């Protein structure tokens, strides 16, 4: 972005929000989540935003991540913050061992003040809900994956380069894959895959944006993250960090067309899509 602006390229348009919420209500509106000391509560958290990444914390508590996108993780781990990309799901167990009235909310003060959160209230406790900033965390899928390479080798590898063309179409950024943005007029580009074969998609992000990647009708195994081999972590949405690489293995077992895209709405609307045709 800095280099583009220095060359005189304008900024691309983005989306902002005046209000956000949990289960349809802003923080401070609606009943609290009521718990008792000693309970173990399983939270299923979906980021239903079309454009935003969410980071949630509950002061004085930790989240034991047990599943991602509905798939049990190879290694359960305790984290102070849940970092959830667009359309990602996290299942986490919280030990209710810190009585009080707390704000379960976004770590961003601006987003939390705009409504992103809900109140967690222990039995026999009352008062103003409290918020304390959590310890810092770098979210890393490798925390929940087994180390080392997967036992299955791909039959084919697909390399995809993600680029950004700032403000290239009426002020909006264009997002081509391998230099070609998806055309809604022609439904192209299309990649042909063979039914029953295992494929590895290797993506390199040449932009500073984070991209939540999704392959329709498939569950994939995350096999490399930033050059580190991993195995056992099965998902259907994975965040590709700025200037990062990721590899996803999947079996082409769904005949017909399947869409691969970035779940960030403005990115997919402006080119970040490709069709896989399985026959």
pLDDT at 95 over 70: yes
pLDDT at 225 over 70: yes
pLDDT at 1 over 90: no
Distance, CA of 183 to CA of 168 (rounded, Å): 15
Average pLDDT over residues 95-105: 98
Q: What's residue 2's pLDDT?
A: 67
Coil, helix or strand at residue 42:
strand
Answer whether 264's CB lies under 8 Å from 179's CB.
Answer: no
pLDDT in tens, 104-113: 999 999 999 9
Distance, CA of 109 to CA of 106 (rounded, Å): 7
Q: How big, in percent rounded to 5, are the helix, strand and coil portions of the chain?
A: 5, 45, 45
pLDDT at 89 over 90: yes
User: Alpha helix (H) ranges present in the chain?
Assistant: 2-6, 109-113, 265-269
Of 234, 227, 238, nearest to 262 (Cα)?
238
Three-state SS for 210-277 is: CEEEEECCCCEEEEEECCEEEECCEECEEEECCCCEEEEEEECCCCEEEEEEECCHHHHHCCCEEEEE
CA angle, residues 76, 77, 78, in degrees to nearest 5: 140
Q: What's residue 131's pLDDT?
A: 98
Of 103, 107, 99, nearest to 27 (Cα)?
103
Distance, CA of 156 to CA of 49 (rounded, Å): 33
Residue 100: phi and psi, rounded to 5, are 155, -165
> b or e along 158-189 (b: 16 or more beta carbons within 10 Å of the residue's beta carbon)?
beeebbbbbbbeeebbbbbbeeebbeeeeeee
Mean of pLDDT over the chain: 94
What pTM was computed for the model?
Answer: 0.92
CA angle, residues 210, 89, 15, in degrees to nearest 5: 45
Q: What's residue 12's pLDDT?
A: 66
Residue 47: phi and psi, rounded to 5, are -90, 100
């Amino acid at each position: 972005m800095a280099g583009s602006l220095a060359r005189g390229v304008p900024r691309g348009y983005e989306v902002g929000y005046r209000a956000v919420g949990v289960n349809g209500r802003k923080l401070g509106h609606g009943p609290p989540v009521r718990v008792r000391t000693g309970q173990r509560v399983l939270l299923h958290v979906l980021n239903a935003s079309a454009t935003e990444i969410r980071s949630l914390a509950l002061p004085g508590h930790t989240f034991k991540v047990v599943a991602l996108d509905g798939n049990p993780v190879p290694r359960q781990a305790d984290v102070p913050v849940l970092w959830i990309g667009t359309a990602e799901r996290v299942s986490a167990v919280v030990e209710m061992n810190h009585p009080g009235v707390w704000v379960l909310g976004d770590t961003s003060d601006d987003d939390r003040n705009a409504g992103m959160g809900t109140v967690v209230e222990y039995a026999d406790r009352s008062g103003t809900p409290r918020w304390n900033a959590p310890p810092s965390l770098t979210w890393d899928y490798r925390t929940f994956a087994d180390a080392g390479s997967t036992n299955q080798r791909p039959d084919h590898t697909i390399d995809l380069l993600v680029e950004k063309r700032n403000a290239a179409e009426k002020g909006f950024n264009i997002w081509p894959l391998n230099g070609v943005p998806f055309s809604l007029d022609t439904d192209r580009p299309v990649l042909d895959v063979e039914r029953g074969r295992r494929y590895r998609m290797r993506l390199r992000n040449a932009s500073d944006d984070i991209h939540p990647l999704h392959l329709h009708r498939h569950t994939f195994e995350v096999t490399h993250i930033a050059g580190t081999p991993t195995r056992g972590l099965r998902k259907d949405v994975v965040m590709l960090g700025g200037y990062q690489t990721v590899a996803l293995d999947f079996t082409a077992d769904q005949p017909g067309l399947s869409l691969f895209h970035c779940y960030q709405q403005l990115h997919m609307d402006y080119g970040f899509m490709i069709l896989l045709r399985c026959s």
